[in-house]
Structure 1
Amino acid sequence: MAFMNFSGFFYARNDLRLFKIEKKNELKSFFYKDYTLSSYKDALNLNNEIFFYQSLKEGLFKKNDEILVSNLGKKIILFRNFTQNCDNFNE
């Protein structure tokens, strides 16, 4: 037991963030729509962070939408848009 190394174990590395969208860029490819979202700098988000999301749906995000995201690095895994009352839980 004294020789166990825990560096190879997997653990959840995703974060949960609540922010308001300051800027939104969309890039439409053949099948998918790539979104780039920039957050406002406020008390919860001390940095203007940028997140990426890829979807088949259009019109998911607008400026000043308040969203809760579960992200892995800069990539959004799950989100809940409180302003438009939509999410990607079944996408």
Structure 2
Amino acid sequence: MNKYVLTLILKPDLDEKARKELLSSVVKRFGKLEKEEMWGAKDMVYPIKHQTKGFYAHYTFEAEPSSISSLDKDLKIDEDILRYLLVRVK
């Protein structure tokens, strides 16, 4: 298993229930969650998809490399995710 770091920026207008459902569906895909940080709503330096604010969430987890490609694909197509960064850590 490899170690990964994932930072998500979600649409700021999501209600708390929808945000929790979205984040829990992402977390279920992790092999072993090591750290979870909710950075909350923050202003962005430049608009992304016509949004000037976003809700930030940060995760450190371990997963099998084979599961990362499907996670990456699902993160790309979810319209409630404005931007994400998924990086393998050594």
Q: Give the alignment's TM-score, normalised by structure 2.
A: 0.28
Q: Which has the larger radius of gyration?
A: 1
Q: Give the alignment's TM-score, normalised by structure 1.
A: 0.28
Q: Tell which has more relative contact order, 1 or 2 (C-alpha 8 A, sep 6+).
A: 2
Report which of the two has the higher share of strand.
2
Report which of the two has the higher share of helix.
2
